[in-house]
Amino acid sequence: MALRIVKLFASAATTTTTTARPTVSKFFYETTAQIAAGNTLTIAVGSFEDDTGAAATTLPALAADNSYFKVEINGVLQMSDTLAYTAGGAGTGQLEITVPAGSDPIEAQTPIVLEVVNYDPQSSSTTTITT
């Protein structure tokens, strides 16, 4: 028999399934007075209502690298540099909205919606090896 290289044959296939698993929390507020340009509106957690209409008791923490929050004023999405979000309960949790100088004011009775989204991704993999 002639010389030859003998090698092992193996192949592998991996299937990975990932689920995003988002948790969405929405909070609602209506301004009570006009907020003029150059001023900051601070909304404490207890001033927000949740999806059921009850007073909010805590603003959720933002999961590192797996979360975001957004704010809509009168249905319009706002720029993040005008916002400051602090998670927590009474005395801590709040949203600050800075109305830039030269901007239009936020009028009284304007609806403000805060949405916080945290993801808890889960993955599972199955590898099949054929020799």
What are the tens digits of pLDDT across the range 34-73?
A: 999 999 999 999 999 999 999 999 999 999 999 999 999 9
Model pTM score: 0.83
Domains in the chain: boundaries: 21-126
Average pLDDT for the chain = 95
Measured CA distances, 73 to 76, 103, 107, 110, 114 (Å)? 5, 14, 10, 7, 9
pLDDT given for residue 10 in this prediction? 85
Residues in the chain: 131
Structure tokens at 66: 């797996």
- CA 49 to CA 80: how far, in whole Å? 22
pLDDT given for residue 131 in this prediction? 77
**Three-point CA angle 109, 115, 118, nearest 5°:** 165
